[in-house]
Each structure stands twice: as C-alpha cells, then as structure tokens.
Amino acid sequence: MLTRQRKQHILSVLQRDGNVVAKSLSEELALSEDTIRRDLRELAAEGLLQRVHGGALPIAPADTDFASRQQLAPDEKVAIGRAAARLVKPGQVVFIDGGTTAVQLARHLPKNLQATVVTHSPSVAIELVSHTQLEVVLIGGRLFKHSLVAVGAAAMGAIARVHADTYFMGVVGVHAEAGLTTGNIEEAEIKRALMAASAETVVLASSEKLGVASAWVINPVTAATSLLVSPDAPAKALAPLRKAGLAILRSDDPGAG
C-alpha cells in the first residue's frame, strides 16, 4: 500500500471510529507500528489529526482564531448561550469564560439580573455594559489575542481570590479519554484555575467540539459538573461522555434553565 493510500485509510478509520489505535492498524495492514506512527506524525503536521498516546484522535476544528470560530455552529451557540444564561440565578457570583459561546451567554442574560459576573474576556464584559443591575469584574493580564482573553500571572492571581458559584467554561475539545482540551498552554492553566475556584463547572460545547481533542489538557471530563449541548449534538459523540460519568444537559431541556 502506497503512503498516500495508507494516510487516506487512516483518515477514513478516524472518521468512522472516532479514533485510531496504531497497534490495531499495524496489524490490520500488516505493517510495523513505526510505519503507522510516522504516518500519524505527518498527518498531525498537516493539521489533519491530533496524536495521542497509542494513536490519534480527530483534530478540534474550534482551535482557530476568534473571528473564524464565530462561523462555526452559530445557531447551536445561540441556543447553548441562551440556556446557559437561564442557569445564572440572582445573587450568584459566576465566572464566564472567553469564546464565542460565552459571548452568547452574556448576550442573553436578563437586563434586570442582579448578580456578579467575573470574566477575563473583554468581549464578554462589553456585552454586559448595558446590564445596569449586574456587577461586572474584569480580570486583567496579558491579552492572548487568539482568544481575546487575559492570561498570565496577574490573571491567575486574581482568579485565586474569588469563590464563584458556577464557571461557564469554553473548550476546544471534549473527549471521554483525552479530557477537556484547548489549544494553548496558558489558556489551559487559566481554565484549570477557574475550575478550581468554582463550586460547579458547566462546559459549553457545540457539536464540533465533541469527540475531538487539542494539544493541552485542562482536566478530565469528570472534573466538570455538567456539559451543556444543543439538541443537534450527535448521540454517538455523547454516548462515551455519559459512560464516563459526565452529566449532560441539552439546551432545549427544562433542566438547562
């Protein structure tokens, strides 16, 4: 089998099964694991998959800049943001992450809500300017322009001084084995700190984030309280997450607000 044919077969298996196991594929094709690993390395370098121990997972399409992510699943993000907004109760202190779905959450908070929102996202803070009853605390630090959020030591220090009721978390990938992942090491650290400072974590994930992975692990999926998805989320992608023990809320479910 030619290299091109092998790589196409690997991508086909990845699309069909949601993962590739190097050992199984080498046995199937009667090739050495070294050959398969080399193909995986080259495919990863082309941005076509995410290598993990023993094989590969689908690459997270959400691992792009803020402007590009606005074009991914816009209807799902509106539905998830609206449902997440209904989970915020009067008097609570909540962390709202950066990202396009988080902006939708902020956009759908009631104008008369009396609560406190803490965020490291200027985009989220700007959405809340006209919410006169809402206290908005903007965490500062170095601006990570890719995601339009503050990162670094100053942000970490500010987060550590807050005890929040709920953290509404954005991710790049949600995978039962690979965990909650994102595309930048500093973002992963910030998200981990936000989880640690919150009583509950609700992960906001449109369909393209399910069953895929990026390079930096935030935490296992079971570290989150629940996963909020849209009705369009594929059952095949949700099944392993449920099996792992992650509670799943749908944006059309009365339980999601």
Q: What is the pLDDT of residues 193-250, one digit of tens each?
A: 999 999 999 999 999 899 998 889 999 999 999 999 999 899 989 999 999 999 999 9
Task: Specify the pLDDT at position 147.
Answer: 87
**Does the CA dihedral 110-112-118-120 come out positive or negative?**
positive
> Is residue 255 situated within a structural domain?
no
Q: What is the DSSP letter of 222?
A: G
Which H helix or E strand runs over 121? none
> Is residue 257 situated within a structural domain?
no
Tell me the average pLDDT across 48-69.
72
| pTM metric for this prediction | 0.83
Do the Cβ atoms of 166 and 199 come closer than 8 Å? yes
CA-based nearest residue to 26, from 17, 15, 38, 18:
38
Overall number of domains in the chain: 2
Q: Decide the pairing of beta strands 179-182 and 116-119.
A: unpaired
Q: What is the domain range of residue 186?
A: 66-250
Q: Are residues 178 and 221 in the same domain?
A: yes
Q: What is the DSSP letter of 236?
A: H
Q: Are residues 245 and 164 in the same domain?
A: yes
- CATH number of the domain encompassing residue 22: 1.10.10.10
Alpha carbon 197 to its chain's center: 18
Q: Are residues 103 and 228 in the same domain?
A: yes
